[in-house]
Amino acid sequence: MEKKSPATIDEYIQSFPKEVQSILNEVRKTIREVAPNASEAIRYAIPTFIQNGNLVHFAAFRQHIGFYALPSGNAKFQKELANYKIGKGSIQFPFDQPIPLDLIRKIVKFRIKETSVKEKKKETKKVGKRNNQ
């Protein structure tokens, strides 16, 4: 039988053991503090914050929390991420180390600026097209 994808972040978090739930709730709260206007959703079957597009995603795995700030977030914070396993757009925060909430805050702030700039460019293009018609 196929595992049903959670419909909400609450459902997602509740599907894990208590100690993992605690960490996931901490990460969620940290993102929410920095991005109070972002909406929450499940995208790609994991928790996602959306503000002018996908802002960040996070997920729990057997040994770590996965944090997804897209390639730009990883590129911007290369030095701070040097002690973590990273992929093109993923970061692994191992459970045997404290979760770097301050770093998550910085990354989310960066992503908010980045997505708002992209949104402004889109709006400018739309206005330009309307004016040229």
Domain range summary for the chain, segments of one domain joined by +: 9-128
DSSP conformation letters of 84-109: SEE-SSEEEEETTS---HHHHHHHHH
Q: What is the pLDDT of residue 73?
A: 84
DSSP 8-state class, residue 25: H
User: Class for domain 9-128, per CATH?
Assistant: alpha beta
- State the Cα–Cα distance between residues 7 and 15, nearest whole angstrom: 12
* pLDDT for the residue numbered 128: 55
Q: How far is CA 63 from the centre of its chain?
A: 18
pLDDT tens over the chain, length 133 residues: 456 789 999 999 999 999 999 999 999 999 999 999 999 999 999 999 999 999 999 999 999 999 999 878 888 899 999 999 999 889 999 999 999 999 999 999 999 999 887 666 656 655 555 555 5
Helix (H/G/I), strand (E/B), else coil: 123: helix
